[in-house]
Amino acid sequence: MRASVYNCNVIELKKIHNRAGNITSIHGLSEIPFDIQRVYYLYDVPGGEIRGGHAHYGLQQLIVAASGSFDVVIDDGHMKKTITLNRPNFGLYITPGIWRDLVNFSSGAVLLVLASNKYDEKDYIRDYDYFLNFSKRND
């Protein structure tokens, strides 16, 4: 099945309210569409920097603005969509086969990623022209 930006949804996560600070916990399939194999986070991003710039063959991810804000531009080869993340209890689910650029980082932003697999460079598509051909082949 062809990847589509329409299958990448913002998921509202449960927030445990407390006047002394809130908590959000994510276990895996009870909140998101995949089991979590890896957690990583991106931080100390200099102003104006662009991250991402790739797609994955198989990896599923949930991207959360644990602190601050940034925009995620998702692209299925036909259509692009920009999603602003700025609340720690909302995450963007990204399916396989979606190109993403991460832009407009606020100062102090922390981009938290929950991923369905361990790090594997062979799962990356880092060439945009190759990605466009790849997404056409799956039409």
Q: Which residues are catalytic?
A: 54
Q: Is 42 in the site for ligand TYD (CB under 6 A)?
A: yes
Q: How far is the CB of 52 from ligand TYD (least distance, A)?
A: 4
**Options 119, 130, 133, 138; binder of ligand TYD; rule CB under 6 A:** 119
**12 or 49, CB closer to ligand TYD?**
49
Q: How far is the CB of 86 from ligand TYD (least distance, A)?
A: 18
**Options 40, 41, 43, 57; binder of ligand TYD; rule CB under 6 A:** 40
Q: Is 43 in the site for ligand TYD (CB under 6 A)?
A: no
Q: How far is the CB of 120 from ligand TYD (least distance, A)?
A: 9
Copy the structure tokens of residue 37: 């194999």
Nearest Cα to 46, choosing from 120, 102, 100, 124? 102
Give CA–CA dist 66/47, Å, rounded: 17
Burial of 67 (0-12, 13-18, 19+ CB in 10 A): middle
Whether 54 and 133 have beta carbons less than 8 Å apart is answered as no
CA angle 42, 44, 46 (to 5 degrees): 115
Question: Which positions from 47 through 66 interact with ligand TYD, judged by CB under 6 A?
Answer: 51-52, 54
Query: Taking every pair of C-alpha atoms in the chain, what is the biggest distance, in angstroms?
Result: 52
Binding site for ligand TYD (CB under 6 A): 40, 42, 51-52, 54, 119
